[in-house]
């Protein structure tokens, strides 16, 4: 999908908008500024895989990351999650083991408007070893989309996954309940979304690690910056 439309191109030549790439990283927080009275149109997220931790064992665990963009003062939010593969490289016949990302830079095409500053937050997902899966239960018969032999029938499956004491994930959602397992509880949610916590923040780079250049996030945001309100953009024709 092109990042330019005929309307945007005309407004750019009229001096009413401009393209800019903001780069974030190194720590957990960042802000994309929005001009007063205007708005920004987010079109690209340029993501570079990374991993975190003081030891190789920690780095293997910290390869799942969450990126959240929230319009300050509103509930306008985008959430992206990445699982970054690692390659292990050995230098020489009996040399040291090194990690490198198993994939290159990724460009995510998106489309979102923000009229106020955008709070960017990055975290490391918690270790899945601490996840608590609920006892298997049956999906209620009226919530099964397919009948036997293709449906679940009497096959039980895990209804909930607890990330922490305040994060209870109910994958099927409120509209597709399990028998005897209500959609309720502290921090209940029907989408994978991790809370921010001290243990999940972006950690400082380990200076002594020869692979330290891959230890911090480096994320670009390609945005069109408009110095006009959205209403004027919408009324500007094709």
CB-based contact 39:226 (threshold 8 Å): yes
Strand-pairing partners, residue 168, are 162, 188
Angstrom distances, CA of residue 8 to CA of 75, 158, 234: 26, 48, 11
CATH H superfamily, domain 6-125+201-234: Nucleoplasmin core domain (2.60.120.340)
Domain boundaries, the chain: 6-125+201-234, 127-193
CB-based contact 42:237 (threshold 8 Å): no
Q: How far apart are CA 135 and CA 162, in angstroms?
A: 12
Query: Which residues, in sequence order, are CB contacts of 150 under 8 Å at separation 6+?
Result: none
Strand-pairing partners, residue 41, are 113, 224
Report the percentage of the chain scoring pLDDT > 90. 66
Residue 154: its pLDDT value, please?
Answer: 84
For residue range 146-201, what is the model confidence (pLDDT) as tens digits? 777 777 788 899 999 999 999 999 998 999 899 999 999 889 999 999 999 999 99
Other beta carbons within 10 angstroms of residue 167's beta carbon come to: 20
For residue range 42-53, what is the model confidence (pLDDT) as tens digits? 999 999 999 998
Residue 93: its pLDDT value, please?
Answer: 65
């Amino acid at each position: 999908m092109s990042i330019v439309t005929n309307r945007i191109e005309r407004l750019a030549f009229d001096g009413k908008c401009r393209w800019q790439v903001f780069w974030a990283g190194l720590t957990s927080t960042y802000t994309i500024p929005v001009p007063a009275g205007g708005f920004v149109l987010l079109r690209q997220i340029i993501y570079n895989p990374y991993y975190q931790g003081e030891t190789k064992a920690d780095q293997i665990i910290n390869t799942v990351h969450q990126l959240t963009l929230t319009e300050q003062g509103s509930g306008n939010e985008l959430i992206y999650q990445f699982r970054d593969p690692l390659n292990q490289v050995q230098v020489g016949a009996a040399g040291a083991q090194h990690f490198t990302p198993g994939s290159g830079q990724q460009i995510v095409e998106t489309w979102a408007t923000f009229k106020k500053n955008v709070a960017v937050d990055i975290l490391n997902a918690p270790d899945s070893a601490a996840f608590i899966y609920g006892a298997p239960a049956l999906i209620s018969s009226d919530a099964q989309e397919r009948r036997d032999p293709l449906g679940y029938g009497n096959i039980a499956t895990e209804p909930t996954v607890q990330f922490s004491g305040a994060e209870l994930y109910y994958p099927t959602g409120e509209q597709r309940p399990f028998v005897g397992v209500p959609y309720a509880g502290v921090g209940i949610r029907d989408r994978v979304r991790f809370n921010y916590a001290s243990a999940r923040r972006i950690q400082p780079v380990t200076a002594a690690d020869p692979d330290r250049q891959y230890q911090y996030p480096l994320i670009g945001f390609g945005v069109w910056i408009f110095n006009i309100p959205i209403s004027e953009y919408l009324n500007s024709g094709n």
